[in-house]
Amino acid sequence: MPPLSNGSSPPLSWLRSAKYLATMTLRTLSSRVALCLVIIFIALLSFTSVIFSGSSSNDIYYPEILPASNNDQPFNPDPLALLGHRRPLRHSYQELYRLHSKFMLNEDATAPVTVIIRPEDFGDSLSKQIRSLLTQTDQPQAIWIAVAEDQDLTKAQELISSFNDEEEDLGADEEDDEGAETGEGDSEAAETEEEHEERHRIKMRIVSKNDPWWGVARQASSEFFLLLENGVIPGSSYLGTLLRLAHTPEYSRALLGSHGAVLSTIPENFLDSDLDINCLPEQDRNGQVKATETVDVLSDIWFGRTETLQLLSLEPWASTGKAPLSIYLSTMFRYYGSIPSVVVANDPRNLATWGDMRKKTVPSNFCADIKRLYRESGIWHSWIQRGRALVSQYEQLSSVVVFLANIDEAILLKDLICRWSLSPDTSIHVAVAGSSRGLGRKEFAQLLPSADCHVGIYDMRLSHLPYKPTELESIRLASEVSVNSFHILHSLRPKVIFYLQEPNSIFSDGLAIAHARASIPAIALKPEDIEHVRWIPDLPIQALQNWNTPEVKLVVITNNRPGSCIRLLRSLSHAHYLNDKVSLTLNMDAEADRVTIQMAGSFQWEFGEKFMRHRVRRGGLMLAVVEAWYPQGNNEYAVLLEDDVEVSPLFYSWIKYNILKYRYSPDSQLYQNMFGVSMYSQKFVETHLAGRTPFNPEDIFIETPEYELRTPFLLQLPCSWGAVYFPEHWREFHEYVADRLLDIEWNKTSLQSVQIPNSRTNRWSNSWKKLFIEMIYMRGYVMLYPNFFNFTSFSTNHLEWGTHTKQQRNSAGTFLVPLMTDSEKLLDDLPNRRLPDWDSLPVLDLWANLATSAELVKRGRALQEQLNPCLLRNNNKEVIWEGQEKDLKCAKTLPYYSTHTTPLPKTTAAPAIETLSISAIGADPLAAEGVTTYGAGSPSPLPTPPPSAADEDYDYVDTPPAPSYRLSPIPSPTPR
C-alpha cells in the first residue's frame, strides 16, 4: 500500500476491513479469485487512504485528502480553517496581513497560478479582464480563455494573439541581441519562435458542448487555480492576497473568493418559501467585506489548490444534472474534502485589494441569483437531504447524529429523538438508510410524534439489501454504509453519534468503521436498552461524549452464604448494562466454604470479565470492604455489594445516569464533594445518640417548598447496602485508614481520639463505616441518595445472619424495600423527569438535618483543628502540616516519631474512647481487626462489653477472628 500523504501507516480500521474481506472471500471462493479480490480491495483502500487520510485536532477529525504539493510542503489541516463546530476565525483585511505566510514566487518570478476565464464575448469586457491580470503585482503563471465550441474561435484567437504580441514586443530587443550574438540560422530562429509560442502565458482552451468550462483547470500544472466568471475585474494586488492566504495555516485548505452567501435556515418547504440568505458583500456596503466569512456558496471567483479538483471525480458534474457552479464547487469540496468556502476581506480604501472592482459602482444581483438557483436546482434540495450540511448547521455547538437502519429502529427511537431535539443546547440530525431499505426521509418525517420536533433528516440512499445476502454482498453493503455515513459525519461534524448495535448487522458494522475512522464518540445500544435510557436527552453534550469513559466494576463481598450470594449474582445477571462491558469480582474470605467457592467458580458472567479472590488468612468484613477495590484511575468506579443484598434490573442505568450527569458535565468541579451514589433508599438514620431513628425525606421536603417532594438528596452518610463509590475519595479513604491503623499499631494504650460531636458512630468498633464517616465528616463529603415513592430503590437488604446481624433477624422486613423495575416510573418520580442540577439538590448532614455544603465543610474543619496535626519541621525549623494536600488527621503518635527530633505536640482532643483496638486483632500482628464471620462464633471475649440484643450498636460490633479455619471448625450460629 502506498504511504499516506502525511507519511503515516494505514489506519487500523481500514486494515481490519481488508482482513475481514480476506476472511469472508476465502470462505466462499477459490483461492485465486479470493486473492484477486483482496488485492483489488487493498488497492481501493490505498486510494481511499490518499483521499481521506488525516489527523485529529481538538477532538474533531480533519482529513488530509490529498498528497503534498509539488514543493513538498505538507498539506496540513488547521481547525481554524475548517468547518468544524465553529466557523473559522474572522479576520479583517489588516489582520490577514499579520498572519504568517510561507508564499514564494516561481523561479521565473511568476506566481504558481493558472487563471481560467469564461467569456461571453470577446470584446472590451474580456480585454479588461486580461489587462487586470497582466497588471497584477504577482503575475500568474498562465492565463487560459475557456472558449466553447460554438463561439467565434477566430475572434477569440485574434484577441489572445494581440495580448501575446504585446508581451513579446516588451522583450523583443533583448531576444534580437541574443540571436545576433549566437549567429543562429533560420531553422534555429523558427525553433525559437515555437518555443516562444509555447511559452505564451495567454492561451485558448476549447471546451466541448457537454463539458463545464471550468473543467480545463484540471489540466493545469500550477499549484493553484483561479476561476473568473465573465466580466470579473480583480484589483492589482488581489491575486497576491489570495496566494499569501493560501500559504497560512488558517486558510491553507480553503476555497477562497470574494462573493458568497450563507443560507441561514432550511425550511421544510424551502422551495416554496422566502429563503433567509446573508450575501457577502452586503449590498448596502458597496462591495466592502469587513472580515473573512465562511459561506455556503461562492460566486464569480474561486481560488484553490489544483490537486483538490480531484475530489470532483467522486461525484462528476454531469451526474448532478449539471448543477450551477456556485453550488457544485462549494458543496463538493465541503462534503468530500471538508474544505470550506471563505469570502476574503478587502480594504474599503484600496480597490486594488478587491476581487471585483466593479462592485464598488455596479449593484450586485447575486442574492437574487442565488435564490433563483435554489429554486431551479433540484440537486441542491437533494444534497441537503443527503447531509450536505450548511454553515449555519456547523454553528450548532452540540450536534448529535442518529443513524437509523430500518423502519423498526425508527419506530423504537422516534419518541427519544423528538424529546432530544427539544433540548435547547443540542442539535439533532437523523440519517436514514434510504427508501430502498424502507426508510426514506419522508417516511421518517411522518413517524415523528410532533410537529415541534426539530430534526434535520438526511438520506443515505443505500442500495437494496437482499433478504439473504451473500457474504460478498454483505461486504459491499457494509462498505457502502461506511462510506456514506463517513461523508455525513465529515459534513455535519457532530460531537456524538448514536445508533443501534444489533448482532450480525451490516449497517452496524459499517457505522462502526466510519465513526472509528472519523474519531467521533459513539453511543451504540441494543434495541432492548432504549426503554432504560430515556434520560439521555437530559445529559449535556460533554457527558454524552464521555458515554464510554466510565469503567464500572461490580465487587461482591462474600464468605460462607452461598444461597445469599447466588441470589445476588442472579439479580446482577438480570440487570441492563446498556451494552457496556462490566467486570465482576468475587471477594471471598479465608473461611468461605466449598459450596461458595464452587458456586463462584462455575457462575457464568456474560457482561465482561470475572475475577475471583480468596484470602488465605481471615481478614474480616472491615478489610474485606476496604481492600475489595483500589481504583487504577479517575474513570474507574466500584459498586460494592455484600452478599445479602439484591439489586434492581435498573441499578446500572441509575448509577450510569448519575455518574455522567454529575461527573462528566461542564461543571464537574462543583461535584468534588460527592463521594458516591447510593442505590438504597435510607429508612433509618443510625447516627443519633438516642439510637437508630426512622427517616423519611418526605417529612423534610413537604415542609420545604423550594424542594420537590421526590427530589434526590445529598446525605453525609455512606451506604453499605449497595452503592457506587468514586475513585478519588476511595483512594483518600485508603490513606486515612492506613493512618488510623498505624496509630493503633504504634500506640496500644493511648489512641488519638477522633470524636464527631453528638454522633453515635463514636461508639462503633471495628467498622469500616466508622472510619469512612470520620473522613467524610472532616471533609464535608456527601453521597447522593434516591427518593422514590415508598422507598423504591435499586438495591435492598435481606439482613441475613452474619457479622452485623446476630440476634435481629426478625427485623429483616424493616429494611427490605421494593426494587425499581419500571424505567418510566424512574423518570416520572424525578423532578421534571430529570436529575436536578447540583445547586438544586438538598443537602442533609450526618443526622439527616437540612444544611448547606459550606456548613458541612466548616464543621469538618472545626473538628480537624482539635486533632493532633502530626507536626514536622522544615529546614527553617518552621512547623508545617504533613500531607498538606489532604490536611486530614495524621494519627501517628510518639513511638512512630521516636526516630525524629520533632517532639510530639500536646493534643487538645478528649480522652481516648473505645475505638479500633489492637487487642481485637489478637496475638497475631498480621491478622486484621475483627471482621465478617458470616455465621462464625468465637469463644474469645470481645475487647469491649458486648451490647444486648436491644442495643442498636450491636449492628456494628464484630467478633474476633477464629484461631484457624483449617484447625478449628466454625461454631454453629446462636439459635434465634
CA torsion 352-355-361-365 (nearest 10°) is 180
Residues whose CB is less than 8 angstroms from the CB of residue 716 and which lie 6 or more positions away in sequence, other chains included: 773, 776, 777, 780, 781, 782, 783, 844, 845, 846, 856
Looking at the fold, whether 561 and 622 belong to one and the same domain comes out as yes
pTM value is: 0.66
Q: Which three cell numbers stand for residue 223?
A: 499549484
Asked whether residue 772 is assigned to any structural domain, the reply reads yes
Residue 714 has pLDDT above 50, yes or no: yes
| CATH number for the domain harbouring residue 448 | 3.40.50.2000
Is residue 453's pLDDT more than 50? yes
Contact 438, 410 (CB under 8 A): no
Whether residue 430 sits in one domain with residue 302: no
Q: What's the CA gap between 232 and 132, in Å, rounded? A: 9
Which CATH number do you get for residue 685?
3.90.550.10
User: Is residue 437 in some structural domain?
Assistant: yes
Q: Beta 795-797 vs 645-647: how paired, if at all?
A: antiparallel
678 has a pLDDT exceeding 90:
yes
Residue 920: closest CA among 553, 620, 651, 714: 620
Range picked from 276-285, 467-476, 916-925 for highest mean pLDDT: 467-476
Task: Please count the CA atoms within 13 angstroms of the CA of 420 that sit on its side-chain side.
Answer: 28
DSSP line for 894-958 = TTGGGGSSSPPPPP-SPSP-S---GGGG-S-TTSPSS---TT---SSPPSSPPPPTT-GGGGGPP
Domain span at 129: 93-167+199-385
Answer yes or no: is 580 within a domain.
yes
* Range with the largest mean pLDDT of 400-409, 877-886, 904-913: 400-409
For residues 67-71, give the mean pLDDT: 30
Residue 938 lies in a domain: no
**Same domain, yes or no: 582 and 693:** yes
Q: Identify whether residues 611 and 699 lie together within a single domain.
A: yes
Helical packing angle, 562-573 and 594-602, nearest 10°:
20
Q: Which residue has the cell 476472511?
A: 23
Question: pLDDT digits over 361-395, tens only?
Answer: 555 677 777 777 766 766 666 666 555 667 665 55
Residues 230 and 338 in one domain: yes
Q: Using CA atoms, how far apart are residues 914 and 957, in angstroms rounded to an integer?
A: 12
**Of 794-803, 905-914, 948-957, where does the model show the most confidence?**
794-803
**H or E stretch covering 308:** none
Claim to verify: residue 761 and residue 702 sit in the same structural domain: yes
Q: How far apart are CA 232 and CA 115, in angstroms?
A: 12
Residue 787 pLDDT > 90? yes
Chosen domain end from 845, 867, 889: 867
Residues 310, 406: one domain? no
pLDDT in tens, 227-279: 999 889 999 999 999 999 999 888 888 999 988 888 765 544 444 445 567 78
Q: Position 362: which residue type?
A: V
Q: Which one, of 849, 884, 675, 863, lies nearest residue 778 by Cα?
A: 863
Q: Is residue 878 part of a domain?
A: no
Q: What mean pLDDT value characterizes the chain?
A: 75
CB 292 within 8 A of CB 91: yes
Q: Single out the residue in 525, 543, 578 at which a domain terminates.
A: 525
pLDDT at 389: 62
Distance of CA 970 to the CA centre of its chain: 53
- Residue 359 one-letter amino acid: K
Does pLDDT of 943 surpass 60?
Answer: no
Query: What would the mean pLDDT of 151-167 be, rounded to a whole number?
Result: 86
Evaluate whether 873 touches 719 at the Cβ level (below 8 Å): no
Number of compact structural domains in the chain:
3
Beta strands in 151-300 (DSSP E): 202-207, 224-228, 255-257, 260-263, 277-280, 293-295, 297-298
In a domain, 876, yes or no: no
Task: Please give the Cα distance from 677 to 656 (Å, whole number).
Answer: 10
Q: Is the pLDDT of residue 835 over 70?
A: yes
Mean pLDDT of 22-26: 46
Angstrom distance (rounded) from CA 79 to CA 520 = 15
The reply to whether 294 falls in a domain is yes
Q: Which residues contact 615 (CB under 8 A, 6 or more apart)?
A: 588, 589, 590, 624
Residues 673 and 782 reside in one and the same domain: yes
Q: What angle do the packed helices 31-52 and 12-28 form, to 10 degrees?
A: 160
Residues 243 and 131 grouped into a single domain: yes
| Domain match, 556 and 691 both | yes
Does residue 143 sit in the same domain as residue 252? Answer: yes
Give me the mean pLDDT over the 289-297 stretch.
Answer: 87
Model confidence at 587: pLDDT above 60: yes
Of 867, 891, 917, which residue sits at a domain end? 867
The 10s digit of each residue's pLDDT in 26-43 is 444 444 444 445 444 544
Cell 434510504 sits on residue: 434
pLDDT in tens, 169-220: 765 555 555 555 555 544 444 445 556 566 688 999 999 888 889 889 999 9
- Mean local confidence (pLDDT), 590-615: 94
Amino acid (one-letter) located at 23: T
| pLDDT at 424 > cutoff 50 | yes
pLDDT band at residue 695, thresholds of 50, 70 and 90? very high
Residue 17 lies in a domain: no
Is omega for the bond preceding 281 within 30 degrees of 0, making it cis? yes
Instruction: Looking at the structure, tell me whether residues 492 and 615 fall in a common domain.
Output: no
Q: Exposure pattern of 236-265 as b/e (b: 16+ CB <10 Å)?
A: bbbbbbbbbbbbbbbbbbbbbbbbbbbbee
